[in-house]
Each structure stands twice: as C-alpha cells, then as structure tokens.
C-alpha cells in the first residue's frame, strides 16, 4: 500500500500544478470569448495551437520518455544520468534552433498558405514558443526523475499565473489605454508594445513571455549541462525514442486533426449565419470544456511515467498497473458525469454566441476517457520494450480520425469531429488491450470498468433527454444526481474504502475520559 501512497502523493502534487494551474488558465476562456465576441476572431488561435502541439512532438522526438527509461536504468549512477541528460538536451536544442529558424524564415509563405493575412507576428511567436517548450521539456523530465515534484509544481504554477496576468495586460489594459478609455498619458508608452491590429495574436505573445520565465524558474535543473554529441549514445536514445515519437505524433494528429480540418472541410453555408471561421472558433472554445478530463490524464501521466518505469523489473508490476488503471478510470468517469451533467452552469464561462457547441462536450469527454485508459494500458509495450506496437496502434487511430473527419465534417459539421475522435480513441484502447493480453497479461477488472462507463453514459443520456430550463432548479438536481452516482460507486467499492476509514478512525486522537468525582485525585492526596 505504501507503493500506491507514493503514486497517489505524486499524482496529487502534479495535479495541483496541472489541474489548479489549468483551471486558472481556463479562466481566460471567458476573457477571450467576451473580448473577441465574433467566434471567427479566435479561429486562427484554435488552429495554430493545434500545430503547436504537433510540432512540439517533432521537436522533442520522444526523447522525454527515452530519458525516463535510460535514467531509470542508470539508477544511482549520477554521472551516467548526467551524460544521458546532456545527450538528450543537446539533441533537442539543435532541432529546436534549426526548426524554429526555418519557420521564422518561411513566415511570409506560411501566412499565405494558412490564409491568415496580417498574422506574421503570431507565427513568429509560435515558432519561438515551440522552441522554448521543447528545450525545457528535458529539464522538467529531470525534475520528475529526481522526484522533485514540488519544484516542478511551483514552476508550473508561476508560469500559469504569468500567462493570466500577461493576457489581462495585453487584451484589457493595453487595449483600453490604446483606445483612450483611461490613463491616456500612458498611450505613447503603450503604443511601443501594443498594436490593435494584432488582436488575438497577443495570446501567443503572453504565452511566449511566460514560458521564457522557465529558464529562470528551473535554472538549477540545467546545472552541469554540457553540450555534447556522442554518436553511439545518441543513436541508442533515438532508436528507443523514435517509435515513441511516431506514437505521440500520431496521437496528437488524432487529437488535433478536427481543429485543423474543420475550417477546410465544412461546406459553405452548413450552419446558417455562421462562417467556417466562426464554426472553428465555437468548436475550439467549447472543446476547452473537455480540458477537465485531459487534466486528470496529464496529472496521472506525470507521476505514472517515472513510477512504472522504476517498477519495470518488479514481478508485481502487472497487479500494480491493474489497480492503478481501475482507480484512474473511476476518477475519469466521475469527471465525465460531473461536467456533462452541469454543462448548463459551465456553459456560462463562454460568451452566448459560443454556447451552441456545448453538445459536443460529453462526446469529447468520453473520447478522452478512452484515450486515458489507452494511455494507462499502453505501459505494457513500454515496460517490455515493444514500442513498435504503440506506433502501429496510434497510427491506426490517427488514420481513423483523419478519415472520420473527412467523411463526417461535410455531413455532421463539428459534431462529426467529436464522433471521429470518439471512435478512434475506442479502437486504440481496444487494440491495445487485446495485444497486451497476448504479450503482457494484466489482470484488469474489465467487468466493473464496463459497468461504470455504461451506467455513467445512461445517466448523462437521460439527463440530456429531460432538460431543465431554470438554472436555479437544474443545478441542484444535477448536483444531486452526481452525488447519487458517487454514492453508488462508494457502495460498490466499499471493500476498498472500509479499511481506509478504519485506519483514519484509529489515527484520530480520542478525547480523554474525565474521571468521576470519586476517581479524582487531588494534590497531595496520593501521599495520604
């Protein structure tokens, strides 16, 4: 049980930075949708951030996971770990510098190709942002390997705070001063750093400046770094990492194809009074409501990567993986139910013109749930060094997503994007499970998992069939339904909770019993 306490503790710590930080960052959604009232204004941000995710995978080449694997093998050999750190970071620095320089040089052509005129600054800022994120990825991996979760958490939280402050500074303060709403004496200074024509491009600049702070926040993690190119050692890293990079790349294509394809494959006039840019803006910002599930997955991933790699040689690793996956799925099902039942309340976070797309959220949450389960059960091919299967599975998923978007967007609009992602995620999970049973059997509790998912799905479906218009009525009802569902899970899993509650009771200090009057001993009485 102490083993799982360590995993749970690290997951909670990483969750603080990931979930709390992203929730603060999520507060920017109302800011962005209320400042840019036309959904089409944010379409370029939705699409370009999709490219950021894909390019970041190409920049890092899967070396983050390779660093975990080789550092785990080095164990307590600090000199060997330092060499691995030097090798991985050196490769990423070279790739990041050359690739971002190329993107910056091709900016005029890219603006035309993407059909985003006047957004040269945005593309340059995106190129620099990707380079910074790629370079700091390896130092952050080092923090995780060295179990410095608190340092990791602090840096991430400060970064998120800076992102929020800089967004407010550029999109509210600078915009208002430039428009002469107040502090007009500052207009000459503001005009040096703010151009109203750039508009939502300042979201990228805020992100870039905040991420640049990582070089200060985790500067000690770069300690003793020496740029080195050892062909033999780098080859070993790349041989292990390249299949993982293809897997991650296919996975990101799976997650981002919808936002890249939607504007281009949506028939003109599919939605009355909405342009394709408006539809992309609506879909992209409603998509952010599914971030709650993605946060749970990322929080677990940050802790699980070093944890399970360190247990690779443990004979109990399959049992540990089965139990961890069970509780991970339960948490994700609760998030699915909690968010889907309360979309009428959460929908207030976006401007009214964006709320027409809220019906995609339950589908996207379920897709992320399947993706999270896939991530958990995919440890079998990482622990057994059969990473080629990960590549095959994820490429299959990406192909389904691409084909699904091409076929479904013209017929179903943005709902087709959500359905394609759902089908792809389920197929990947199913294939991974079947292959894992053959090559690395794990005693997963499949029956209970199916029961939780089906039960949650029925509850969400029925609640959507009987909508409640009055928010004052719907919120208590939906919270009550969520509480009921949570209670059912607690009853089913009572065998797990009862020992925990018993230990808590034993640890609770008891109130000392006061002696009766006849039992009281007064000063000096014991000497009589």
Contact 436, 377 (CB under 8 A): yes
Q: What pLDDT does residue 6 have? A: 57
Q: Residue 156 and residue 201: Cα distance in Å, rounded?
A: 23
* Closest to 306 (Cα-Cα) out of 82, 67, 80: 67
- Cα 375 to chain center, whole Å? 12
Q: What pLDDT does residue 521 have? A: 35
Q: What pLDDT does residue 517 have? A: 38
Q: What pLDDT does residue 307 have? A: 64
Per-residue pLDDT tens digits for 113-123:
888 888 899 99
List of the chain residues with pLDDT < 50: 1, 504, 508-528
- In DSSP notation, 61-78 reads TTHHHHHHHHHHHHTT-H
* Closest to 375 (Cα-Cα) out of 446, 298, 450, 449: 298
Q: What pLDDT does residue 513 have? A: 44
- Cα 206 to chain center, whole Å? 19
**pTM of the predicted model as reported, rounded to 2 decimal places:** 0.70
Please write down the HEC assignment for all residues of 242-265.
HHHHHHHHHHHHHHHHHHHHHHHH
Q: Is the dihedral of CA 369, 372, 377, 378 positive or negative?
A: positive
Q: What pLDDT does residue 498 have? A: 64
Q: What pLDDT does residue 518 have? A: 38
Contact 432, 393 (CB under 8 A): yes
* Closest to 241 (Cα-Cα) out of 59, 439, 428, 398: 59
Q: What pLDDT does residue 336 have? A: 93
Q: Residue 484 and residue 473: Cα distance in Å, rounded?
A: 17
- CB count within 10 Å of CB 189 equals 12
* Closest to 456 (Cα-Cα) out of 488, 496, 423: 488
């Amino acid at each position: 049980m102490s083993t799982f306490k360590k995993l749970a503790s690290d997951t909670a710590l990483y969750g603080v930075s990931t979930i709390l930080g992203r929730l603060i960052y999520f507060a920017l959604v109302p800011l962005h949708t209320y400042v840019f009232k036309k959904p089409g204004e944010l379409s370029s941000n939705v699409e370009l951030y999709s490219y950021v995710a894909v390019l970041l995978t190409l920049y890092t080449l899967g070396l983050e996971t390779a660093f975990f694997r080789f550092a785990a093998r080095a164990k307590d050999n600090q000199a060997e770990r330092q060499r691995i750190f030097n090798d991985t970071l050196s490769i990423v620095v070279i790739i990041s510098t050359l690739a971002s320089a190329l993107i910056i040089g091709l900016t005029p052509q890219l603006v035309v190709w993407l059909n985003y005129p006047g957004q040269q600054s945005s593309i340059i800022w995106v190129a620099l942002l990707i380079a910074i994120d790629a370079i700091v990825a390896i130092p952050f991996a080092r923090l995780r390997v060295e179990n410095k979760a608190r340092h990791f958490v602090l840096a991430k939280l400060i970064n998120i705070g800076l992102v929020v402050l800089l967004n407010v500074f550029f999109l509210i303060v600078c915009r208002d001063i430039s428009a002469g709403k107040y502090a007009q004496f500052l207009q000459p200074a503001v005009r040096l750093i703010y151009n109203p024509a750039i508009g939502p491009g300042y979201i990228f600049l805020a992100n870039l400046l905040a991420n640049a702070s990582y070089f200060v926040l985790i500067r000690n993690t770069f300690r003793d770094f020496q740029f080195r190119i050892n062909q033999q050692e780098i080859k070993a890293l790349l041989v292990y990492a390249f299949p993982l990079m293809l897997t991650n790349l296919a996975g990101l294509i799976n997650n981002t194809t919808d936002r890249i394809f939607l504007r281009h494959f949506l028939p003109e006039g599919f939605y009355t009074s909405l342009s394709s840019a408006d539809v992309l803006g609506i879909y992209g910002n409603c998509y952010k409501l599914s971030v709650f599930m993605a946060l749970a997955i990322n929080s677990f991933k940050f802790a699980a990567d070093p944890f399970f790699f360190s247990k690779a040689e443990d004979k109990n690793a399959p049992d540990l993986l089965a139990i961890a996956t069970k509780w991970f799925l339960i948490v994700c099902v609760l998030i699915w139910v909690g968010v889907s039942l309360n979309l009428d309340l959460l929908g207030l976070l976006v401007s009214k013109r964006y709320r027409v797309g809220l019906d995609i959220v339950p589908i996207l949450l379920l897709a992320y749930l399947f993706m999270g389960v896939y991530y958990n059960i995919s440890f079998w091919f990482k622990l057994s060094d059969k990473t080629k299967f990960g590549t095959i599975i994820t490429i299959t998923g990406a192909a389904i997503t691409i084909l699904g978007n091409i076929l479904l967007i013209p017929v179903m609009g943005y709902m087709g994007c959500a359905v394609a992602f759902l089908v792809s995620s389920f197929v990947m999970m199913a294939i991974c499970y079947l292959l894992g049973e053959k090559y690395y059997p794990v005693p997963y509790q499949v029956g209970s998992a199916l029961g939780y998912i089906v039960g949650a799905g029925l509850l969400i479906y029925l609640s959507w069939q009987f909508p409640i218009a009055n928010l004052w009525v719907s919120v208590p009802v939906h919270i009550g339904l969520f509480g009921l569902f949570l209670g059912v899970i607690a009853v089913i899993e009572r065998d797990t909770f009862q020992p925990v509650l018993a230990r808590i009771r034993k640890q609770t200090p008891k109130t000392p019993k006061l002696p009766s009057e006849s039992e009281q001993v007064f000063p000096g009485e014991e000497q009589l």
